[in-house]
Amino acid sequence: TLLYTIKFEANLNMEEFGQSLKDMAGTVGSMSIKGFDRAKQFSQEKMGNAVKTELDQDFIALSARVEETRSCVSKTSTAARNFLQPNAAARLEDMFNETVTGKGSNIDKRQTYSELMGHIMKTSGQQIGDSIKCGPSFVEVGETFQKLGMLEREYIRDVYNNFFKPFSNHLQVEYSNITAEKRRLDLARLDLDAAKSKVRGARTPEAMQQNEQKVRECQAAFDRQYEQTKILLTEADRKSDEFTCHLEEFIRSQMNYHEQAHKMLSETHANLKK
């Protein structure tokens, strides 16, 4: 009797274990059905064996325009950072402080090459002395370049704060959201086309009815996601005009810097000719 009881409990436990495995497999299977359908639809589209829902041309043009703007802004931001700080090691330090330490950029705190040259020329002129003409000339030109270096730092700070930062940060949140929404739209489109494919392959009226209901649900989800994505794209496209304002600030900074630099150099040039 004891042996029979042990065998019965063992059989019962094995049956429960087997059922647990079946239940788990069913759960995993139901969770992966959508992913499998998407992968199947995607693969068949790549092989040219599936019908694909095409987006309207206005939406495609809008999406392409926003993406092209985003790409150009990204490249211009990189070029602007290189323009403001040509030294790669210093750029890396600034980016690290901006994004990791939170200390902010030192882009306008470093000595400029103009200041360094001005210091060397002024020191050289002082060493030469007043006994020959080039001594005072070295000093005057050196002082001018030191002033130019300080002016350059003010200019770099102005460009960084009023052009580079707002230009680089403008629409970045919107672009990130658009990327996520476009991804969701792609998935909704795959779900819709996979559902349509099942309708075409249905073999019984019951399966046909069930699959047609699934198509209606997927179509509604796709339409909602399409409208949401289009709203974000339209808003980003409208706001892209604001990049012109940032470019105007950049030109303003350039004009102010070169105007003051020209004035300093003209005065020094006139003094040297006396």
Instruction: Give the pLDDT confidence score for residue 28 in this predicted structure.
Output: 33
| pLDDT single digits (tens) 29-58 | 334 677 888 888 778 878 887 788 899 999
Tens-digit pLDDT profile for residues 242-273: 899 999 999 999 999 999 999 999 999 999 98
What is the pLDDT averaged over residues 106-129?
Answer: 91
pLDDT of residue 24: 38
- Answer whether 0.85 is exceeded by the pTM: no
The CA distance from 54 to 33, in Å, is: 24
Q: What is the mean pLDDT of the chain?
A: 85
Alpha helices by DSSP H, the chain? 2-46, 57-84, 88-96, 113-128, 134-159, 165-169, 172-200, 205-239, 243-273
Kindly state the tokens that stand for 105. 């950029």
Check the CA dihedral 169-175-180-181 and report its sign: positive
C-beta contacts of 211-219 below 8 A and 24+ residues apart: 218/188, 218/191, 218/192, 218/194, 219/192
Instruction: Tell me the two tokens of residue 120.
Output: 């060397």
The DSSP secondary structure of 85-107, one letter per residue, reads: ---HHHHHHHHHIIIII-----T
